[in-house]
């Protein structure tokens, strides 16, 4: 009885104090009309379509402050974000608004919230409440044990690495798909071992349970299972959370959306904020249907639109609105600018990627002279490999840069692998290069590698390498030695030992299988190597190429070490890594067909629409200046390319097209033609011909 009275007393006191603490917030002056409507929304399900730069975070924070002002207990509010950074930022901003008077005990990432629930109720699933959370290293170690237990010897046969298997298992669980379907969709080359992979996945789950441990995916899946199996517990939490708010809802996967559905099932006061036009993470199992089907799932849900953009100029938003309007699956919205008119975005074509890189570097230096600080400039690209030519150019110009979300081109492991093969080909006594290429082979560790290196030191140039391996290596190591020899023989079979041809030889070898087995992003890594081949094509010989690359490696490494937090540097980033960020000036490079949209995306259901959303994200990162660029030639197979279909979709009066008439335009007879098989034609004829090819391309896209 006393506890009930005490709880009642707290509630009364809180209601009185809450009203006092928050009555001073002037919502009308702090928010625009669109944001106010969301903040003062009553009860019921609510979808907030927050366009880029529209102040969605501000809206969520003030919505929470408004609920607190209305006397809602902080314990009754669940606020879910996607990153710890976002959660921390929201809580800090909320505390500033309410002057630190109240805390939100149920705010954080999906993983943090589910961990808090499982810590108290995991016993209902057969776990101890003091279960262990496996970090990335722990989960990999356990998967390696499962692989070994299955009898797979990766030193004897090629098999997906533990890292790749973890990625596959994670995708399957978050997408709620059978592992076989994931393999069919993502890695068809492993369908013949699907049963083995499934058994390893089952064993991995069993061993985690036996160890009373969960990985990050388990936190989501087990919380979902907990509520499915225990109606009483589901009712307890859904009753407690009177108001549920979710940020970046377009990035939720199926399991996350299902969790939110269950936690909001009693009061049905669910507010989700997101932008379907910025749903770009399907490769992580994010499902755009969660936001597109929200109204169908929550009958009577109210839809709000935040369309006032505080970031970009009107000219940039005209382009963004025009491009995204071509997506069939979307919520219609139109971003409106609050900034003054400035200038139209520009489109720049170039004959090759080197010219494109030189233009960007030149323009960056001009902007710096005009007073634009380097940190306010970003170059964005669809795929990491596209940065290579630009990185070389920036190094030459001594322009400091920061590569976001990854490793600089020449520091990437697969690039160093390929360079290792070329180095031992060029200099057979390079023991460092020998050690690298040998230890990546199945069954060859440091000790076996040293045996080979020592044997080669004392041998003739015409030594029988196969016989040498048979004489000094174990049976296990001979498998890897045979793999190496296949690459080695391919290199020596090149009629023209030019670095370009040598790299192509590596790409035609079983090194590709090695990449596929070791890395889940193997396609991107192969594109990097293709880009390296393009770079090599411009070098006179292998000696100059290796010397040039070594200098590039040395410079970028030293540059990376020498850049402090106080140094000014521009930003290079993939578009995926740039989401949520903004810069005064943005260059979007490599905007040509085959690169953006990528060829692979056109083979996937709704792939073109996600690529268009990615393009939209790139456009909306710019505040004041926006440049698009592409090269007419420069593909790995010397294929010709025209401007991206996304460039073509932009109304011509919304952008300034530069230098079309100044370029020696190529007759586009066939997309597969090499540069040697085409002729230069009159400008008007070339332009008209490209128009026909562009129409043909659009028609081919419609077939997907």
Enzyme catalytic residues? 56-57, 247-248, 278, 621
Q: How far apart are CA 532 and CA 548, in angstroms?
A: 12
Q: How far apart are CA 179 and CA 201, in angstroms?
A: 9
For residue 441, the Cα-to-chain-centroid distance in whole angstroms is 29
395: left (phi over 0), alpha (psi -120 to 50) or beta: alpha
Q: How many CA atoms lie within 13 A of 600 on its CB side?
A: 10
Which backbone phi and psi does 341 adopt, to 5 degrees? -60, 140
CB atoms within 10 A of CB 569: 18
Q: How far apart are the first and last CA of the chain?
A: 67
Peptide bond preceding 597 in cis form (omega within 30 of 0): yes
Sign of the Cα pseudo-torsion (212, 215, 221, 226, in order) = positive
Q: How far apart are CA 507 and CA 53, in angstroms?
A: 43
Q: How many CA atoms lie within 13 A of 93 on its CB side?
A: 14
Q: Are 681 and 629 in contact (CB under 8 A)?
A: no
Q: Are 308 and 336 in contact (CB under 8 A)?
A: yes
Which backbone phi and psi does 620 adopt, to 5 degrees? -80, 5
Q: Are 630 and 590 in contact (CB under 8 A)?
A: yes
- DSSP states of 237-280: HHHH-SEEEESSGGG--HHHHHHHHHHTTTT--EEEEE-GGG--
Residue 215: strand, helix, or coil: coil
Q: In this structure, what is the dihedral angle of CA atoms 483, 484, 485, 488, given to the nearest 10 degrees?
A: 130
Residues near 564 by beta carbon (within 8 Å), at least 6 away in sequence: none
Q: How far apart are CA 657 and CA 247, in angstroms?
A: 38
Residues near 308 by beta carbon (within 8 Å), at least 6 away in sequence: 32, 34, 54, 55, 335, 336, 338
- DSSP states of 488-534: HHHHHT-SS--HHHHHHHHHTSTHHHHHHHH-TTHHHHHHHHHHHHH
Residues near 563 by beta carbon (within 8 Å), at least 6 away in sequence: 400, 402, 569
Q: Are 25 and 36 in contact (CB under 8 A)?
A: no
Q: How far apart are CA 628 and CA 621, in angstroms?
A: 13
CB atoms within 10 A of CB 169: 22
Helix 254-263 with 231-240: angle, nearest 10 deg: 80
Residues near 57 by beta carbon (within 8 Å), at least 6 away in sequence: 86, 89, 90, 93, 247
């Amino acid at each position: 009885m006393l506890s009930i009275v005490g709880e009642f007393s707290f509630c009364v006191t809180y209601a009185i104090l809450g009203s006092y603490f928050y009555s001073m917030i002037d919502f009308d002056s702090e928010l625009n009309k669109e944001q106010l409507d969301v903040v003062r929304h009553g009860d019921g399900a609510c979808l907030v379509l927050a366009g880029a730069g529209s102040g969605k975070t501000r809206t969520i924070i003030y919505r929470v402050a408004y609920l607190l002002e209305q006397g809602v207990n902080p314990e009754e509010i669940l606020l879910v974000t996607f990153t710890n950074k976002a959660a921390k930022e929201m809580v800090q901003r909320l505390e500033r608004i309410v002057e630190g008077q109240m805390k939100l005990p149920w705010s954080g990432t999906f993983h943090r919230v589910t961990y808090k629930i499982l810590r108290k109720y995991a016993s209902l699933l057969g776990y101890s409440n003091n279960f262990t959370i496996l970090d990335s290293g722990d989960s990999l170690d356990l998967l390696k044990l499962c692989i070994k237990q299955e009898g797979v010897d990766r030193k004897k046969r090629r098999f997906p690495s533990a890292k790749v298997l973890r990625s596959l298992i994670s995708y399957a669980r978050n997408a709620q798909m059978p592992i076989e379907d994931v393999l069919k969709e993502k890695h068809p080359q492993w369908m013949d071992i699907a049963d083995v992979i499934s058994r390893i996945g089952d064993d991995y789950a069993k061993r985690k349970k036996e160890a009373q441990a969960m990985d990050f995916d388990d936190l989501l899946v087990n919380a979902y299972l907990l509520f499915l199996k225990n109606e009483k517990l589901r009712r307890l939490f859904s009753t407690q959370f009177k108001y549920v708010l979710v940020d970046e809802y377009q990035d939720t996967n199926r399991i996350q959306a299902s969790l939110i559905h269950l936690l909001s099932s009693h009061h049905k006061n669910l507010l989700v904020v997101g932008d379907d036009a910025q749903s770009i993470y399907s490769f992580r199992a994010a499902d755009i249907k969660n936001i597109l089907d929200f109204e169908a799932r929550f009958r009577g849900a109210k839809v709000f639109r935040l369309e006032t953009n505080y970031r970009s100029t009107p000219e940039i938003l005209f382009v963004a609105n025009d491009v995204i309007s071509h997506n069939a699956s979307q919520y219609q919205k139109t971003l409106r600018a609050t900034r003054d008119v400035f200038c139209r975005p520009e489109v720049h074509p170039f004959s090759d990627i080197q010219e494109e890189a030189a233009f960007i570097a030149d323009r960056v230096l001009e902007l710096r002279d005009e007073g634009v600080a380097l940190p306010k400039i970003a170059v964005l690209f669809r795929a990491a490999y596209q940065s290579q030519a630009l990185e070389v150019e920036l190094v030459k110009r001594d322009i400091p840069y920061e590569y976001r979300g990854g490793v600089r081109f020449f520091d990437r492991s697969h690039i160093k692998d390929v360079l290792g093969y070329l180095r031992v080909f060029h200099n057979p006594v390079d023991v460092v290069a020998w050690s690298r290429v040998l230890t990546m082979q199945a069954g060859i560790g440091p000790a076996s590698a040293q045996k080979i290196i020592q044997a080669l030191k004392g041998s003739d140039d015409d030594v029988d390498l196969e016989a040498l391996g048979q004489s000094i290596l174990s049976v296990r190591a001979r498998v890897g030695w045979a793999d190496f020899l296949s690459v080695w023989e391919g290199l020596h079979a090149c009629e023209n030992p030019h670095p370009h041809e040598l790299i192509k030889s590596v790409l035609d070898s079983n090194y590709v299988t090695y990449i596929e087995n070791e890395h889940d992003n193997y396609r991107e890594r192969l594109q990097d190597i293709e880009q390296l081949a393009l770079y090599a094509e411009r070098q006179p010989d292998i000696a100059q190429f290796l010397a040039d690359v070594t200098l590039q490696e040395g410079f970028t490494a030293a540059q990376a070490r020498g850049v402090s937090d106080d140094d000014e540097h521009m930003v290079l980033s993939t578009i995926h890594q740039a989401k949520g960020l903004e810069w005064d000036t943005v260059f979007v490079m490599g905007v040509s067909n085959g690169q953006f949209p990528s060829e692979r995306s056109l083979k996937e259901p709704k792939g073109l629409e996600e690529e268009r959303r990615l393009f939209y994200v790139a456009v909306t990162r710019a505040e004041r200046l926006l440049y698009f660029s592409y090269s007419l030639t420069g593909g790995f197979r010397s294929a010709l390319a025209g401007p991206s279909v996304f460039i073509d979709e932009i109304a011509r009066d919304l952008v300034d097209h530069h230098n079309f008439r100044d370029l020696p335009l190529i007759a586009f007879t066939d997309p597969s033609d090499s540069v040697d098989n085409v002729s230069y034609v009159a400008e008007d004829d070339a332009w008209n011909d490209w128009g026909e090819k562009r129409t043909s391309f659009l028609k081919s896209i419609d077939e997907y």
